[in-house]
């Protein structure tokens, strides 16, 4: 097992990439602490973790709140005795962050808060615990939109999503350099468009969905399990010489 005797905290663990990562990590021997705003969803993932043969604990909270972020980390430590892996999977897009009609300023603040500040805060509390445990791995969820812009004509140019995910890439690099002496590796995954709750709205318009599928040379959206496989590599000792890296898992999107 690639994560035997490891403890992993996964934010946004109630659905999508977070859920896929939790169940995969469980099959590889990790004990899982799940954080999500929606307790029912997190409990469903916890049950899947247990079915996979591992242990799970659930903590609800808001990654943008420092006290909640600290509580998430401490929940993992108190339940399982330490922390070795953090997957910062909690995230929103401009499409679902706030109700329709929200002001540009409120939308900007919300998306940057969840995607960038949330990643920062949970990591802030995780690093010292990983150092106590002898080292660890932080996997941040960025996006290909942290590396490139939206296709011409798809967006107004004022989307807060791209800057938030670009910030995650730079935060990853900076924290990786600073944390290397603590035996803590920090990397991020930059997925292409993936079939999750965040992209469900895009499928409501067949023309838009086909347009985006065609932007990927492989001709399709990714699956959460495919991103989880990359997270497993970064969480495991197989990536022991990998830190500060944005890993594109995007069906060739950014190769164009």
Any idea which residues carry the catalytic annotation? 161
Are 235 and 139 within 8 A, CB to CB? yes
Q: Where are the alpha helices (DSSP H) in the chain?
A: 16-27, 39-51, 66-80, 104-112, 118-132, 161-179, 206-215, 224-235
Q: Which two tokens stand for residue 169?
A: 């890439």
13: Cβ contacts below 8 Å, ≥ 6 apart:
19, 21, 22, 32, 34, 35, 36, 42, 45, 89
CA–CA dist 97, 231 (Å, integer): 24
The rounded Cα 165 to chain-centroid distance in angstroms is 11
């Amino acid at each position: 097992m690639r994560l035997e005797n490891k403890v992993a905290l996964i934010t946004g663990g109630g659905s999508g990439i977070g859920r896929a990562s939790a169940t995969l990590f469980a099959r590889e021997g990790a004990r899982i602490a799940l954080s999500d705003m929606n307790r029912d969803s997190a409990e469903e993932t916890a049950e899947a973790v247990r079915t996979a043969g591992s242990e799970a604990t659930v903590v609800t909270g808001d990654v943008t709140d420092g006290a909640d972020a600290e509580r998430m980390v401490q929940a993992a430590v108190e339940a399982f005795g330490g922390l070795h892996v953090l997957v910062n999977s909690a995230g929103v897009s401009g499409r679902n962050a706030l109700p329709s009609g929200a002001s540009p300023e409120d939308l900007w603040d919300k998306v940057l808060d969840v995607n960038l500040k949330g990643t920062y805060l949970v990591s802030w509390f995780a690093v010292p615990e990983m150092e106590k445990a002898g080292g660890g791995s932080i996997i941040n969820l960025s996006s290909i939109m942290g590396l490139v812009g939206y296709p011409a004509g798809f967006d107004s140019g004022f989307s807060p999503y791209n800057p938030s995910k670009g910030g995650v890439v730079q935060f990853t690099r900076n924290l990786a350099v600073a944390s290397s002496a603590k035996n803590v590796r920090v990397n991020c995954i930059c997925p292409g468009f993936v079939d999750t709750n965040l992209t469900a709205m895009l499928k409501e318009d067949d023309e838009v969905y086909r347009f985006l599928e065609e932007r990927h040379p492989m001709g399709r959206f990714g699956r959460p399990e495919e991103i989880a496989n990359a997270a497993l590599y970064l969480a495991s000792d197989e990536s022991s010489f990998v830190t500060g890296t944005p890993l594109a898992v995007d069906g060739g999107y950014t190769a164009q």
